[in-house]
Amino acid sequence: MFKMKQIIRKPYCAGTWYSSNANELRNELKKYLENTGAVNNKAVKAIIVPHAGYMYSGQVAAYAFKSVPENIKEVIILGTAHHYYLKGVAASDYDNFETPLGKIPVSKRNKSFKSEKNISVIPEADTNEHSIEIELPFLQCVLKDFSIIPLYVGKIDYKEFSSILEKYLSDKTLIVVSVDLSHFHNYDKAVTLDKYTTTSIEELDSEKIKEAEIDSPYAVMALLELAKKLNWKPELLKYANSGDVTGDKSRVVGYSAFIFTEQRKNENQFIFTELDIEYMESLAKQSVESFIGEGKKLRLKSYPDKFNAELACFVTLKIKKDLRGCIGTIEPNGSLWDSIIENAISAATKDWRFSPVRKDELKDLSYEVSVLSKPEQLFYSSEEELLREIKNKGVIISKGQNRALYLPQVWEHFSNPADFLSSLCQKGNMNKAEWRSGNLEVFVFENLN
């Protein structure tokens, strides 16, 4: 079968803005990343990074790139068209982008982006342009097996564009906004101008960005709108300007590294540490062993204050990798510590799928406690939106008297959201394709621990 030739975007600034030698380039980036002290953060959903030559801004950019989660599979890169006056958003017709570190495939979803409002292919926007290219080697150092959606952002309705971006998000999508801050002022003025910009970003104030001196303000404003809607928190990891690097403070360019992290509701109130999780599992274990081994319900004399909070939970029992019982509530039913005790005993004695746990099994049991957020109803307008919004979340579906629930950890057994929903429908004694009917009520929730 005839195979069409791939269209490859060759690097424009390799050998000038960064090394064209793969080993030198990788070693340079590795040094920048190691110098940050930053770590991968699973909650990072977007970053803002500079796009000057690596000798100037590479160290600043590394702070954000080092924080990127390793499971990212698709990166939407919002760049600046420096040499072309751009209205709307310029997409790409390339199949791959190439750097000295290899080729990066353009996502199959790039085609869908090109059909969105005010987005079109404008080759001139990419001519002799570095703002997207400069971010690619960093991505190649921190990610594996990923694809990109490269977009140059000009003057556009940033709220509409923000809504378009939201449509394409998943748990394995990262947004990279490639921008420098103020240009060619003396050091002190640059610091003042850039402080206004970084503060505006930290405050998620889109309107103030209109007055900021920053590349691609509409891309930044769209990201801030998205962050407000999805409860992403911006954090400035590093600021510097070229004067800090070269020592020439007469005409400098400003650089910033921001990360945007997803915030859970009640996050500040309920932060569970590894010690808290160990306490939960120990409490479940003591409860089962006391009840099965001695016929007594565990009585606590004291417990950490946060365990007095009214939170729902499930307790799961396993022997090796095999389920041995799982019971819980989706709504809070008293204090967390009491719920753990009750649900642990119920999981051992009342799960209708299993006979009660025997004394001789106690030594082989393992325990898992899932503390749950309050379920929220999911309203969706298409199958695509439904499949995107449930990913990696706990899900409840109901239709009439039929109802079924999967905890977030059930995703370990599914890579396809459609298969997840089909299985959940069958669990609720419904046709496995019922989720396609649009007649289900769908609720989602998350593990808080």
CATH code of the domain covering residue 397 = 3.30.1490.150
Question: Which regions of the chain are under pLDDT 70?
Answer: 1-4, 264-271
Under a CB-based contact definition with an 8 Å cutoff, are residues 394 and 447 in contact? yes
Distances (CA, A) of 250 to 183, 185, 192, 417: 11, 7, 14, 55
Q: Do 26 and 60 share a structural domain?
A: yes
Same domain, 348 and 251: no
Q: 195 and 104 in one domain?
A: yes
Strands (E), 287-375: 312-319, 322-328, 365-372
Report the CATH number that the domain containing residue 241 is assigned in CATH: 3.40.830.10
Please choose, from the candidates 102, 13, 23, 10, the residue with its C-alpha nearest in 3D space to the C-alpha of residue 56.
13
Pairing of the two strands 147-153 and 74-79: parallel
pLDDT of residue 266: 47
From residue 41, how far is each of 49, 258, 322, 414 by CA, in Å? 16, 13, 31, 23
Structural domain includes residue 239: yes
Structure tokens at 196: 């206004």
Query: Which of 227, 262, 297 delimits the end of a domain?
Result: 262
Count CB atoms within 10 A of the CB of residue 25.
Answer: 20
Same domain, 314 and 232: no
Q: Does 269 fall in a domain?
A: no
Residue 49, helix vs strand vs coil: strand
Classify residue 88 as left (phi > 0), alpha (psi -120 to 50) or beta: left
Q: Please choose, from the candidates 318, 327, 337, the residue with its C-alpha nearest in 3D space to the C-alpha of residue 279.
A: 337
Q: Are residues 244 and 291 in the same domain?
A: no
148 lies in the same domain as 281: no
CATH number of the domain within which 309 lies: 3.30.700.20
Asked whether residue 1 is assigned to any structural domain, the reply reads no
**Is 395 in the same domain as 327?**
no
Give a yes or no: residue 397 inside a domain: yes
Examine the domain organization and report whether 184 and 94 are in the same domain. Answer: yes
Question: Are residues 437 and 315 part of one domain?
Answer: no
Domain containing 407 equals 376-445
Q: Are strands 365-372 and 183-185 parallel, antiparallel or unpaired?
A: unpaired
Q: Examine residue 79 and state whether it is found in any structural domain, yes or no.
A: yes
Residues 38 and 100 in one domain: yes
Rounded Cα gap, residues 367 and 350, in angstroms: 16
In a domain, 396, yes or no: yes
Q: Establish if 268 belongs to a structural domain.
A: no
Domain tally, the chain: 3
pLDDT single digits (tens) 247-290: 999 999 999 999 999 876 544 456 687 888 899 999 999 999 99
Asked if 378 contacts 357 with a C-beta cutoff of 8 angstroms, the reply is no
Q: Among candidates 276, 286, 270, 335, which has minimal Cα distance to 308?
A: 335
Residues 6+ apart with CB under 8 A from 254: 180, 181, 182, 183, 190, 191, 193, 194, 197, 239, 240, 241
> Is the same domain home to 303 and 407?
no
Verify that 285 and 430 share a domain, yes or no. no
* CA separation for the pair 46, 166 (Å, rounded): 12
Q: How far is CA 27 from CA 97, 137, 141, 322, 396, in A?
A: 21, 11, 10, 45, 48
Domain assignment present for residue 245? The answer is yes
Of 216, 240, 262, the last residue of a domain is 262
Predicted pLDDT of residue 270: 62
